[in-house]
Structure 1
Amino acid sequence: MQNQPLQPRIELLPLKAALPAGKDHELTVLARIHPAQPVEVSGPRPPLNLSLVIDRSGSMSGHPLEMARQAAQAGIRLLEPHDRVSVVIFDDEVETLIPSQQVTDKEKLCREIERITSGGSTALHAGWLDGATQVAQHPDERALNRVLLLSDGQANVGKIRVNEIVPDVRGLTARQVSTSTMGLGRDYDEDLLRGMAEAGDGNFEHIEHASQLPGFFESEFHGMSRTIGHTVSLGIEPNPELGSLRQEIINDLQVNSLRRAQLPNLIAGRPVEVVFTVQIPSREEQTDLGVLRVRLAWTGRDGIRRKQRAQLNLPVLPEARCDELIENNDVRVALEMQLNAKAKRDAVARMDAGDFAGAQRDLVRRYREFDAGDYEIPAFLRNQEADELSELAHGVMEDRQLTRKRANSQNFNRSRSK
């Protein structure tokens, strides 16, 4: 049995550590959430209750399906005897290849996966629903219950539209059954798979080459085994004495009915960063102003809902002194990363509106702004971000279908600190 879980640690870091007196000000803040490391205890880790849902439609024939089989087998070999797994395959029909069971004979399960062959059309919703049902039939409040859906095509049998499928995913999430999705190649519906992952409190991955599948499956399984909190939300609570303040979260995150941002799962060793701005009205000089609090809420692996708050206080200094303060480099870098992600999703919106020249122009402008930035950032990260912006700018005119998928995926992952 696990000990009482440790609380996450919340850092609230302003871009500058003071507010200017006598003028309105836009305050930029980085909320950095450090999930607690699990206490080392004897015995097995908390269980996983999974369903692997694999598209076996005709377009998966050959190398893609072989890689999907290998990825599923590699994932099963990472499981432990107290975990549960099922395997569902679908084309225009759905087959439960392996009903939900404990992982007591990994090699037998892997031999069953060898039976998967390619077929016809794509009953994606029905396949997902069968997998979710397999998970839901074996509830365990200690387990992380998840469907892993892999598809390379468009849903074309049964429910096929985003607004039909996403509410069903959200309903299962409310019953503690989450969903992660993996889109393979260039022909899947990224809006649907991303929408399912967002509603399902899971991950969305764009996979261009089938050879990447085993690595992505392993990463997903590793993340699930170290998840210490799910259904995570973050609310920004400005000091009511300052009035009703306009606020904006820069990350691309879903917002619930209480205007709280939906965050990714809390995974040990993986901090989550959220950048936001708050408009602060003019204040007189003072040594310590309570500016805002943030409220973090999550459900632990024990099924208990928890919450925690952190508060940001800042001095209000003369404007000249405030101007002299040095920016926090960590906050500046986090802000620039999110501005890159915003440029990518704005480019997708322009492409969808048919303004391809505008999408390319905005990506090039953002590339130049980022490349000229005067702040300390690891060289590999600067190069990666610059390369992504440059490649997307070229891709707008050369391969719009693939560019849209790349931009969506990169924005999704950066907004969730992946």
Structure 2
Amino acid sequence: MQDQPLLPCIELLPLKAALPAGQDSELTVLARLSPAQPVDSTGPRSPLNLALVIDRSGSMAGQPISMARQAAQAGIRLLEPHDRVSVVIFDDEVETLIPSQQVADPEKLCREIERITSGGSTALHAGWLDGAMQVAQFTDQRALNRVLLLSDGQANQGKRHISEIVPDVRGLTARQVSTSTMGLGRHYDEDLLRGMAEAGDGNFEHIEHASQLPGFFETEFHGMSRTTGHTVSLGIEPNPEVGSLRTEILNDLQMNDLRRAQLPNLIAGRPLEVVLTLQVPAQAEQAEQGVLRVRLAWTGRDGIRRKQRAQLNMPVLPGDQFDALTENADVRVALEVQLNAKAKRDAVHLIDRGDYAGSQRVLRNRQDVYAAHAPMAPAPVREQEMAEMSELIDGLMEDRQLTRKRAASQNYNRSRSK
């Protein structure tokens, strides 16, 4: 009899552990999703089927192309003989430097990587598509089949616009070929690369300096090797007996056709946190009230689609007893981080409208509010959040293009528990 797979742990944690009787209220809930650890972490992991797609356009000349070579070589050395890899390079033309093959001799592949030099323009879509086709030839339901795209510039050859490229990425995702993207420097199109990663069920990274590339490649490869589920969604199912329960997910997540939130891959050792708010109509005092369920669904590395539900029940207490309850510190910290991320989204929208003073004002106001709640956050979280907002505020006076990328990247990362 085949062993049943270990399921993720779903925790539903309310900010306060009750509802107030006889009055409308706002309920904040933290849904914490902890992927299961593999039963045998010492055995062989599931295979990877990868294409590394590297921008070699003229803007990559010098240190960027050198670091891209080093990053690709470091990634290849992390692979195992049962993995597959291909390498595609592009400028205004596309070249398959290494056709898809098993990693029998990683050092031989690394010597091929040394051939990469900088060239002309940026046929981003054609390069990505060639890499996707390399992966698609050998899709394996047991494997994580992924294109890893690195670019430092704007798509200016072939298909160029997000409305043209993202549907193609989504179509390959439906064929089990996912896409992660890395944007290097200050000139790439962050909306396009993020859109490709979201449509591709992968990750998006903003990389400011070429020296960061090997570390980001290693993080991506490590995450892929520990992925236990992909095409992950979270549905919110309010209890209709409670009345009209309006819900909002604070994380900046794409919604699928069924109005379920698309989540990052399930990776062992990386919990996902999603913050919800619910407008709850007045309830009668009672010992327990079912408030909502969540529905988590994912596809395992065995290709089987699975789902799991968890329910939140809460007492409904008189007002004085409700007021005496203390807040859950973990929920408060998660809520404030998502509110910081929302302020960064708002700042990006104002930057796009040319309202730089308004963008600064949004960030300053949010920083002041966060400072009041910051003492309850762990020191590393508190310091990072405050430093990032200060950097964005100052950056709006110095380099608005780079500041927009930073704000968009930070919002993306916080919304995905990174």
Shift of 1:4: 3.2
* 2:392 alignment partner in structure 1: 392
Q: Is the 8 A contact 2:375 2:382 kept in 1?
A: no
Q: d(CA) in 1 for partners of 2:117 and 2:41?
A: 43
* 1:365 alignment partner in structure 2: 365
Q: d(CA) in 1 for partners of 2:228 and 2:259?
A: 24
C-alpha distance 43-284 of structure 1, shift in aligned 2 (>3 A):
closer
Shift of 1:43: 4.1
Unaligned 5+ segments in structure 2 are: none
Q: d(CA) in 1 for partners of 2:2 and 2:209?
A: 40
Q: Is the 8 A contact 2:244 2:280 kept in 1?
A: no
Q: Is the 8 A contact 1:52 1:86 kept in 2?
A: yes
Matches within 5 A, 1:222-241: 222-241=222-241
Q: CA RMSD in A?
A: 1.2
Q: Is the 8 A contact 2:88 2:131 kept in 1?
A: yes
1:133-169 deviation digits (Å, cap 9, x = unpaired): 0001001110000000000000000000001000111
1:31-89 deviation digits (Å, cap 9, x = unpaired): 00010001106642100000000000000011000000000000000000000000000
Supply the AA of the counterpart residue of 1:45. R
Q: Is the counterpart of residue 356 in structure 1 residue 351 in structure 2? A: no
Q: d(CA) in 2 for partners of 1:385 and 1:40?
A: 37
Supply the AA of the counterpart residue of 2:137. Q
* 1:16 alignment partner in structure 2: 16
Shift of 1:243: 2.9
Q: d(CA) in 2 for partners of 1:388 and 1:42?
A: 38
Q: Is the counterpart of residue 55 in structure 1 residue 61 in structure 2? A: no
C-alpha distance 406-2 of structure 1, shift in aligned 2 (>3 A):
farther
Supply the AA of the counterpart residue of 1:342. K
Tell me, what secondary structure is at the counterpart of 1:372?
helix
TM-score, with structure 1 as normaliser? 0.99
Q: Is the 8 A contact 2:123 2:157 kept in 1?
A: yes
Q: Is the counterpart of residue 283 in structure 1 residue 272 in structure 2? A: no
1:159-189 deviation digits (Å, cap 9, x = unpaired): 0000100011111111111100000000000
1:274-328 deviation digits (Å, cap 9, x = unpaired): 0011111111100000000000000000000000000000000011110110000
* 1:44 alignment partner in structure 2: 44
Q: Is the 8 A contact 1:87 1:96 kept in 2?
A: yes
Supply the AA of the counterpart residue of 1:317. L
Q: d(CA) in 1 for partners of 2:129 and 2:55?
A: 13
Supply the AA of the counterpart residue of 1:198. E
Supply the AA of the counterpart residue of 1:334. A
Shift of 1:397: 2.2
* 1:135 alignment partner in structure 2: 135
Shift of 1:2: 9.1
Q: d(CA) in 2 for partners of 1:408 and 1:201?
A: 18
Q: d(CA) in 1 for partners of 2:369 and 2:8?
A: 34
* 1:315 alignment partner in structure 2: 315
C-alpha distance 54-374 of structure 1, shift in aligned 2 (>3 A):
closer
Aligned length: 418
Bigger drift between 101-110 and 239-248 goes to 239-248
Q: Is the counterpart of residue 6 in structure 1 residue 31 in structure 2? A: no
Q: Is the 8 A contact 1:3 1:39 kept in 2?
A: no
* 1:124 alignment partner in structure 2: 124
Supply the AA of the counterpart residue of 2:199. A
* 2:83 alignment partner in structure 1: 83
Shift of 1:355: 1.1
* 2:193 alignment partner in structure 1: 193
* 1:345 alignment partner in structure 2: 345
Q: d(CA) in 2 for partners of 1:179 and 1:336?
A: 30
* 1:261 alignment partner in structure 2: 261
Supply the AA of the counterpart residue of 2:342. K
* 1:329 alignment partner in structure 2: 329
Supply the AA of the counterpart residue of 1:412. Y
Q: Is the 8 A contact 1:332 1:375 kept in 2?
A: no
Q: d(CA) in 1 for partners of 2:161 and 2:246?
A: 34
* 1:159 alignment partner in structure 2: 159
C-alpha distance 217-3 of structure 1, shift in aligned 2 (>3 A):
farther
* 1:380 alignment partner in structure 2: 380
Q: d(CA) in 2 for partners of 1:19 and 1:378?
A: 28
Shift of 1:242: 2.0
Report percent identity of matched pairs: 80
Q: d(CA) in 2 for partners of 1:266 and 1:90?
A: 31
1:254-273 deviation digits (Å, cap 9, x = unpaired): 01111100000000000000
Tell me, what secondary structure is at the counterpart of 1:92?
coil
Bigger drift between 206-215 and 234-243 goes to 234-243
Bigger drift between 376-385 and 59-68 goes to 376-385
* 1:248 alignment partner in structure 2: 248
TM-score, with structure 2 as normaliser? 0.99
Structure 1 residue ranges (4+ consecutive) displaced by more than 6 angstroms after TM superposition: none
* 1:149 alignment partner in structure 2: 149
Q: Is the 8 A contact 1:329 1:375 kept in 2?
A: no
Shift of 1:223: 0.2
1:210-235 deviation digits (Å, cap 9, x = unpaired): 00000000000000000000000000
Q: Is the 8 A contact 2:146 2:177 kept in 1?
A: yes
